[in-house]
Amino acid sequence: MNYETLVPLMRKLAIEAGERIMEIYGTDDFAVKSKSDASPVTEADEAADALISAGLRAALPEVMLVTEEQAASHSAKGDTFLIVDPLDGTKEFINRRGDFTVNIALVEKGVPTRGVVYAPAKNRMFFTLADGTSVEESGAFDPATVGETKPIRVGKPDNGALMVVASKSHRDQATDDYIAQYAVRDMTSAGSSLKFCLVATGEADLYPRLGRTMEWDTAAGHAVLLGAGGQVVRFDDQTPLAYGKEGFANPFFIAYAPGVELKQAL
């Protein structure tokens, strides 16, 4: 895999998809449908998916592609593939809360090694460089020209005063009970894959997820967090979260900065 060409391509497609998403976000009304699992899908999801998929398939036709909005791709099998969530946080989009992202990632041998997370309504962009390290970009987000970037790195957690981030739309009692085992300085909530990125930048130390997610929800944020020195492990046995699973469904997991003294499942 040529990371020198892949990374700029993923970044470009994420920005272009974000522009299309924001065009629809800015309209007075947009269509919302329900998928077979009763989750919502909008014309923004579909437009962003078409743009990203076309770009990836044109450049990398030999690489397996898995995308949330194309059910036929969900039966693909392999441990090395591109994976896309064209609009992660559809509920945030529908409710106009802004915490939605465009996620594109490369998984190699079950590990997300390169990824981009773009939050167009928040003007935040995180991605891995060709060497696998992670940066945050600021500026105008021109698809053709990379703006100012700064390396990001997980913080050094204080186990007596942890900063925790949790889901905005999927918070439940089990998550609160698990978090209660830690000495927490403060908590914040965020939608979509931004939670991984807050750990990656040191804005949070710990993100536990005790709820349903799919690999396309997590791969890009996972790659960014790995590139910033963080870790993501299964909730049950605290082994690394792997990709390419049957059906692409994730178990519960914990994303964290090394140094956090992880607690066992209750």
49 marked as binding residue: no
Please give the helix or strand (H or E) that residue 17 lies within, else none. helix 3-25
Spatial separation of the C-alpha atoms in residues 102 and 121, rounded to whole Å: 11
9 is an annotated ligand-binding site residue: no
Which residue is it, tokens 């392999």? 78
From 69, 102, 98, select the one nearest 219 (Cα to Cα): 102
Residue 217 labelled as part of a binding site = yes
CA 25 to chain centre: 20
DSSP structure string for 179-205: HTTS-EEEEEEE-TTHHHHHHHTTS-S
Helix, strand, or coil here: 139? coil
AA identity, residue 245: K
List the structure tokens of 57: 């398939």
> What CA–CA distance (Å, rounded) separates 221 from 6?
17
Task: Supply the DSSP symbol for 256.
Answer: E
Strands 81-88 and 65-67: parallel
Residue type, 113: T
Q: Is 68 annotated as a binding residue?
A: yes
> What tokens does 22 get?
């924001």
Is 65 annotated as ligand-binding? no
Q: Which two tokens stand for residue 121?
A: 């309504």
Between CA 86 and CA 207 the distance in angstroms is 22
The SS3 call for residue 114 is strand
Annotated binding site for substrate, which residues? 68, 87-90, 217
Annotated binding site for Mg(2+), which residues? 68, 85, 87-88, 217
Annotated binding site, which residues? 68, 85, 87-90, 217
